[in-house]
Structure 1
Amino acid sequence: MSRWTVIIPTFRSFTRGLVTGVGGAALVIPVIGATAAAAAPASVHTATAVKAVAPAVAAAGPIAAATSDGQASASRDAAPGRADRSVRPTGLTAQNTGAVTEVSPYANNLDGWIRQSLGIMAQQGIPGTYDGIYRNVMRESSGNPLAINDSDSNAVAGTPSEGLLQVIQPTFAAFHVPGTSMDLYDPVANITAACNYAAKTYGSIDNVHGAY
């Protein structure tokens, strides 16, 4: 004996089935009703919605497309206070740009040469004043550190007077002041050697008023 019955599945939509007896076993033949058919367009709408979103994600660029949430990526990049990594600091501070050059406190002129010589003379105990040095320099060489006298007796003997205070080479070597250049034409070395010689011979360069 066969009969109709209604089977209620666990999901929300209702499915009607036909139960028939075949050899003592119950055979259920599902019949898709209007409820299942009505549910079909929902999946179609969903697919359509996904296709509509896809172009918008692609248009956002490779960074937005590579994330599951393009808006989250964009808002993260635009967040206030986020560092702009496209801008790099350039330039170096002064303290990182090479060696420091020591600057002499003395000017590279006659005034500076005399003052530097006086500092060295004070350390070595050699007497002399600014006025005494300046007066003799102007008489001997007019302030030219490369001046040479080719006409005096020293020149005839083969050792001309040279430099600011017209010192001959043997005298310069004998009275050279340690810590100064060995170059006779160096202004400071020439002045200090001449003042050292004058101190030993005349008591001080201040006492020299002519050829010495």
Structure 2
Amino acid sequence: MRKNMTIPGLRKPLTRTHQKYGVAGVAALGAAALALSLAPNDSGAETEDVSAAPVAVTSATGERQIKDVHAGITDQLAQADQRAKDAEAKLKAEQAAKAKKAAAAKAKADAEAKAEAKKKAEAKAKADREAKPAANRSVARKPVYANNLDGWIREALAVMKEKGIPGSYEGIHRNIIRESAGDPQAINNWDINAINGVPSKGLLQVIPPTFQTYHVEGTSWDIYDPVANITAACNYAADRYGSMDNVNSAY
């Protein structure tokens, strides 16, 4: 076949590209003509077959068809690209919303923890404030005894009551007056105990071995201490005589 063909009515010969466009146009128009020939008419009867007349196809027609195809593909690509962008934007929005929700939950948890800590601190401070006056009242209620015979006896009686040692103010006072005349530093250097090297000492004239044996916990270990001497003597008298109240002579 020759490279160029001369078609009547055209000034210039068709190139291969023009030929391709023409073939595509003929095929499209042929298909359209066939569809029309098979379509029913208004009366319901099929139309008679009509032979398709030759259609002259120009290069402009082929170019339009190519442009239409290209435009369709371009639209499809643009739509696909837009869908991808929409999906990406949606994913980013979901991730941002999720991150925002997580941040809000953390902020809420932190605020609740801070409020709970503050509540506990306030409760502790309140308890401390309430405990302090109670402790002060307890200290204030602790009796203060006079530093004399009356105060010593009364303090000794309080210790004896706590430890369950019997005895009365009258019984203790009476025996103290007889044994030492109320002198906490009194010491007997002439009786049998003194002769044996263990003289009686203190308000109730207790010998050191007896003081050591019957010493009352919480009191001084000094035998001359008035309260320690009284409580140890009363503890001994309770063990031997039932109570200091039952002692009316040397014991």
Residue 116 of structure 1: how far off its partner (Å): 0.1
Residue 104 of structure 1: how far off its partner (Å): 6.0
- State how far apart, in whole Å, the 2-side matches of 1:186 and 1:175 are: 14
1:83-162 map, 5 Å: 105-162=144-201
1:1-212 map, 5 Å: 105-212=144-251
Which deviates the most, 133-142 or 104-113? 104-113
Residue 172 of structure 1: how far off its partner (Å): 0.1
Residue type of the partner of 2:165? I
Residue type of the partner of 2:210? T
Residue 156 of structure 1: how far off its partner (Å): 0.3
- State how far apart, in whole Å, the 2-side matches of 1:104 and 1:125 are: 19
- State how far apart, in whole Å, the 2-side matches of 1:146 and 1:167 are: 12
Gapped runs of 5+ residues in structure 2?
1-139
Q: Name the count of aligned residue pairs.
A: 112
Structure number with higher strand proportion: 1
- State how far apart, in whole Å, the 2-side matches of 1:200 and 1:164 are: 19
Residue type of the partner of 2:180? S
Larger-Rg structure = 2
Residue 108 of structure 1: how far off its partner (Å): 0.3
Please give the secondary structure, in 2, of the residue aligned with 1:132: helix
The ranges of structure 1 where at least 4 consecutive aligned residues each deviate by more than 2 angstroms after the TM superposition are none
Question: TM-score when scaled to structure 2?
Answer: 0.44
- State how far apart, in whole Å, the 1-side matches of 2:175 and 2:191 are: 17
Residue 166 of structure 1: how far off its partner (Å): 0.1
- State how far apart, in whole Å, the 2-side matches of 1:182 and 1:105 are: 21
- State how far apart, in whole Å, the 2-side matches of 1:196 and 1:151 are: 25
- State how far apart, in whole Å, the 1-side matches of 2:178 and 2:218 are: 27
- State how far apart, in whole Å, the 2-side matches of 1:148 and 1:172 are: 14
CA RMSD of aligned residues (A): 1.6
Deviations 1:93-131 (A, max 9, x none): xxxxxxxxx996100000000000000000000000000
**Aligned residue in 2 for 1:85:** none
- State how far apart, in whole Å, the 1-side matches of 2:152 and 2:187 are: 19
- State how far apart, in whole Å, the 2-side matches of 1:105 and 1:182 are: 21
Residue 180 of structure 1: how far off its partner (Å): 0.0
Deviations 1:54-109 (A, max 9, x none): xxxxxxxxxxxxxxxxxxxxxxxxxxxxxxxxxxxxxxxxxxxxxxxx99610000
- State how far apart, in whole Å, the 1-side matches of 2:191 and 2:247 are: 18
Please give the secondary structure, in 2, of the residue aligned with 1:161: coil
Residue type of the partner of 2:188? N
Please give the secondary structure, in 2, of the residue aligned with 1:162: coil
